[in-house]
Amino acid sequence: MKYITQIIILFFSISSFSQVTIADLLKKHNTQSIPYISVQELAMPKTKAVILDARELIEYETSHIKNAIHVGYKNFNIETVSSIIMSKGEKIVVYCSLGIRSESIAKKLKKSGFNNVYNLYGGVFEWKNKGFNVYNSNGRETENVHVFSKQWNQWLTKGIKVYE
């Protein structure tokens, strides 16, 4: 009987944990004041955008979306972005691992006058999960994806999880 009780408790523990989706996570942590763009829409050839990576350098060097510009999170500098992107109306897509840090950076861009800013829904994890390529610091395709922390790694379902 004790064994059956343990199995039931384990089942409900796993069930409640696995019910947390990326959508749930983003609703919990984001204000959604920045509109999302899906990975499918960003990947379409007709979508022209400057792509900004709002993760730390080690994450970016491990894997990033092709042609993404690293702007970081902890050391983000709006002046650097303003020197790269001359038009405040240029379409900008910001991403991080899941879309939480990127919302914060996107808000800073909006506050600075950039008016066509989007947050990549599900970040680089969703990008990789949907089968799109990521690139390492040498510009080569890679299966490695920096997962930021063990807490967040559950949302990466494809690729090789890298921690450092």
Residues annotated as catalytic are 96
Residue 35, SS3 per DSSP: coil
Structure token pair of residue 28: 């919990």
Residue 12, SS3 per DSSP: helix
Alpha-carbon dihedral angle through residues 110, 115, 116, 120, given to the nearest 10 degrees: 10
Start-end of H helices in the chain: 2-18, 22-29, 39-43, 57-62, 78-84, 101-111, 123-129
Residue 65, SS3 per DSSP: coil
93 pairs with which residues across the strands? 51, 118
